[in-house]
Structure 1
Amino acid sequence: MRLNALIASAALALTLATPAVAQETVAITGGRVLTGTSVIENGTVVIANGRIASVGTGAAPAGARIIDARGKVVAPGFVAVDSGLGGSEVSSVQGSNDLSNSANTLSAAFDLSYGLDPWSFTLPVARLGGVTRAVVTPRHGGSSGGHSHDDSDFAGAGHGGYQSPGLFAGQAAVIHLGQGQDILVRPRVAMVAPFGEAGARVAGGGRGAEFVLFKETMAEVRLYARNKAAYDRAALRDLSLSRADLEALIPVAEGRMPLIVSVSRASDIRQVLRLAREEGVKVILDGAEEGWLVADEIAAAGVPVLLHPNSNLPGNFQTRASRMENAAALNAAGVVIAIKANEGAVHRARETRYNAGNAVSHGLPFEAAIAAITVNPARIFGFAGQFGELRAGAAGDVVVWSGDPLEPLSQPSAVFVNGVEQPMQARNLMLRDRYKDGGEGAMPPAYSAR
């Protein structure tokens, strides 16, 4: 009996990453529908062929499977930003952490999408917290809100003649959290770089050197882009980055790929905005704990912010003015914000909604908080209308909640990703059920009395 229980448990664990089959037409009726941009009372959400077919107050189409959501809330799947989902299992175990890189000749070209694990135990746990998409970002010592055990500074070469250490941590990717072996939605959606104290360390200790290093790097990238033939003939002056890194940075230098900049201090934020204007690069601020002090400038620049709304303790001199009203102040100024989860959004990605709720308790309007974990992340990373919103044509990422999704006691009763209903199971729940009663199969055979 114990052997059978173990086999059944293992089989169930494997099914958590087994792709679901046929997609039926589903109508979720009678619920309070949060579209991400509006609220529809007694609404109907129809999912067909993996996408949202319609959202409104009409009747369910003939032949559709009906999910009665009366007394419940229907919302888009949440989007975890600045996340490590699928890229790290245990952050302190180097072999299971594919979010950081210290290669001798690779920094900006580091593409974490090749290391994503669709069988990660972290994905179903996050999914049960309503998270259906994630922006997975490479980690560095200054990752805002991250959780890194890597004591080395950043990627980059030393003795090989390349920039050491590298200013760029690598390229982010977007994933979905549905069952199946292919969770990658799009690789290389943004470049990541540290500024502030972390960036200063890269440049040798001073913030002024950091900005000069960035400008020189952009100049080299543009020089390379104009003279690739000369580079191939070794007829171009020596450059500080490898060819792979130079190629990876061309979209950044041309303003086509956004640069996620980890920055906290208000004065550093102002200098990053100035740098973006001067270099013609598109930036996304990550952290911005003192952003409320320069909220109008951020809004005027049209720069979005990824933030942790619970940051209110000055852990260092660049977060002296951090406060829990930061999200509300930035939103009131017209800044597009996206709310992050905790510890790099890997094991605690499910807490994305809790953080949004905390932001509401400190002045952020409820509708803005919902947008900050649904439509805003999609817009920031170039996926407007494709997910993070209940609208016709968007991906069928829908969660039915027992109540207000920002209330910790509310729980999902159904989760759809790409129109496929997902199992309401995860490894943590399986372990709970196995050991909670101490019954048959509660202990592994080696620990059982013979």
Structure 2
Amino acid sequence: MKQLISVLAASVALAAPAAAQTYAVTNGRVVTNTDAGILENATVIVRDGDIVAVGAGAEIPEDATVIDASGNWVTPGVFAAFSQLGLIEVALEGSTTDDSAGESPFSVALDVADGFNPAGTYLATNRMEGVTRAAIFPSTGHNIFAGQGALIDTSGDAGSLFQAGSFVFADLSESGAGRAGGSRPAAWAFLEAALADARGYPGRFSGDHEGDALNRYDAAALLPVARGRVPLVMAVNRAADIRRAIRFKADNAPIQLILVGAAEGWMVAEELADADIPVIVDPLEDLPSSFDSLGASLQNAARLQDAGVDVAYSTAPTADGYFNARLVPQHAGNAVANGVPWDEAFRAITLTPAEIYGVGDRYGALAPGYAGDVVVWDGDPLEVMSAPVAVLIDGEPTALESRQTQLRDRYINITDDTPFAYRR
């Protein structure tokens, strides 16, 4: 006989790890992120971690654990396109930060997979807000290259880093120019020299010789980028720098390029679309934080998407990417308020990030063959007051609790009967 579990209690009742089994999320307003669109009163069947059926007429297996969505929204999990989850615990305490290494002789060879902590406090707080997957980025050190990024889930399990070496991150913005010697020409010259070093590896490094820009370990790490096997994620903001990035891609085929920031992207939207370069933008970036982004606009996302650019949303560039990736649905909601259709805005925080990083056939949609990352919300997921009431990652329900909620529950009803002078 089927088990019937209230959606409000599902995350608690099913928090303990269990053998792989079948779950049926029923009676939901299912956002598929496919040509099927949004399905009313539909069911999502997840077996052994994968989605096996979606639809209003999906047959519920006899052995399924049923999660009744009670008419609420059912969606794929949020994919944070630009974050540092699990890399920083306390930003001002160096021993808890593994996002950068400014004093290291290495740059491209630095891999955030070696510093990711699946037990990081902020994974739980982001999971509670519907974030099930994320790309984690290094921060730049002594040159324009920050290192290699990775893809994670927010389950907190030991195996939650599911793809290392997913991309290489480089800063070609105003700050990158400063690290390269003080100007944009210096930054671009360093990038071109670094690519030449990578293409010449290992022959260029025979004997005691080093490269023009990189040592042998960094050159080896950049070689997959030079050969087009791994994307280069490049931070740029002003329109002139974006045009330079477009030319860089054309001159260095078969390189794959992803832009992050792109505050003035709307000025060159048609060119980005023609070059088939995806971008990661913050839809709320509208005030210039530097001369790089004087043209920042709340219509940036809408204009880029209208032009046919593949756009993912993030909360970047911000200083709180290690704990507040969970705000990306709110940013997507603001994109809707500024001209982006709802379905495109939601896709920009789920399926599009997965596609940009090459895993769009596995994450970001509710369809057979996709991973069982399913979120049940108590309202429109892009409304700031909505929240998840159940979250499944790889087909397993997760606990909707964190250190903060545990502390709240521990102290909320304490009655102190000691004399007033002894109370803390």
TM over 0.5, shorter chain:
yes
Note if contact 2:78-2:349 (Cα within 8 Å) is conserved in structure 1. Answer: yes
Q: Which residue of 2 aligns with 1:33?
A: 30
**Deviation at 1:244?**
1.1
Q: Which residue of 2 aligns with 1:12?
A: none
**Deviation at 1:266?**
0.6
Structure 1 residues 271 and 41 mapped into 2: Cα distance closer, same or farther (>3 Å)? Answer: same
SS of the aligned residue for 1:350 comes to helix
For normalisation by structure 2, the TM-score amounts to 0.91
Q: Structure 1: how far apart are the matches of 2:287 and 2:404?
A: 31
Note if contact 2:130-2:326 (Cα within 8 Å) is conserved in structure 1. Answer: yes
1:24 to 2:24 alignment:
no
Q: Structure 2: how far apart are the matches of 1:68 and 1:239?
A: 61
Note if contact 1:81-1:134 (Cα within 8 Å) is conserved in structure 2. Answer: yes
Q: Structure 2: how far apart are the matches of 1:185 and 1:434?
A: 34
**Deviation at 1:399?**
0.4
Note if contact 2:210-2:216 (Cα within 8 Å) is conserved in structure 1. Answer: no
Q: Which residue of 2 aligns with 1:96?
A: 96
SS of the aligned residue for 2:291 comes to coil
Q: Structure 2: how far apart are the matches of 1:237 and 1:448?
A: 67
> 1:410 is aligned with what amino acid?
S
Q: Structure 1: how far apart are the matches of 2:245 and 2:211?
A: 28
Q: Which residue of 1 aligns with 2:62?
A: 62
**Deviation at 1:94?**
1.1
Q: Which residue of 2 aligns with 1:273?
A: 246
> Within 5 A, what are the aligned runs for 1:47-446?
47-58=46-57, 59-140=59-140, 154=141, 165-225=142-202, 227=203, 231-234=205-208, 239-280=212-253, 281-341=255-315, 343-439=319-415
**Which string of whole-angstrom CA distances, capped at 9 and with x for unpartnered residues, describes residues 93-152 of structure 1?**
111111111243210000011111111110110001100011000013xxxxxxxxxxxx
Moved more, 432-441 or 365-374: 432-441
**Which string of whole-angstrom CA distances, capped at 9 and with x for unpartnered residues, describes residues 193-231 of structure 1?**
001211211221111222122112111221224x26xx3
**Deviation at 1:239?**
4.0
Structure 1 residues 298 and 344 mapped into 2: Cα distance closer, same or farther (>3 Å)? Answer: farther
Structure 1 residues 76 and 448 mapped into 2: Cα distance closer, same or farther (>3 Å)? Answer: farther
Note if contact 2:270-2:307 (Cα within 8 Å) is conserved in structure 1. Answer: yes
Q: Structure 1: how far apart are the matches of 2:54 and 2:359?
A: 19
Gapped regions of structure 2 (runs ≥ 5): 1-11
Note if contact 2:166-2:231 (Cα within 8 Å) is conserved in structure 1. Answer: yes
**Which string of whole-angstrom CA distances, capped at 9 and with x for unpartnered residues, describes residues 328-352 of structure 1?**
1111111111111354432212111
Note if contact 1:179-1:422 (Cα within 8 Å) is conserved in structure 2. Answer: no
Q: Structure 1: how far apart are the matches of 2:233 and 2:220?
A: 18
Structure 1 residues 81 and 283 mapped into 2: Cα distance closer, same or farther (>3 Å)? Answer: same
**Deviation at 1:238?**
5.2
Note if contact 1:215-1:279 (Cα within 8 Å) is conserved in structure 2. Answer: no
Q: Structure 1: how far apart are the matches of 2:211 and 2:135?
A: 35
Identity, % of aligned pairs? 39
Structure 1 residues 369 and 181 mapped into 2: Cα distance closer, same or farther (>3 Å)? Answer: same
**Deviation at 1:24?**
2.1
**Which string of whole-angstrom CA distances, capped at 9 and with x for unpartnered residues, describes residues 254-310 of structure 1?**
111111111110111000111111122211110000000100001111111111110
Note if contact 1:309-1:359 (Cα within 8 Å) is conserved in structure 2. Answer: yes
Q: Which residue of 2 aligns with 1:7?
A: none
Q: Structure 2: how far apart are the matches of 1:219 and 1:180?
A: 40
**Deviation at 1:448?**
6.8
SS of the aligned residue for 1:66 comes to strand
Q: Structure 2: how far apart are the matches of 1:272 and 1:387?
A: 28
Q: Structure 2: how far apart are the matches of 1:295 and 1:67?
A: 43
> 1:104 is aligned with what amino acid?
S
Gapped regions of structure 1 (runs ≥ 5): 1-14, 141-153, 155-164
SS of the aligned residue for 1:256 comes to coil
Q: Structure 2: how far apart are the matches of 1:307 and 1:121?
A: 26
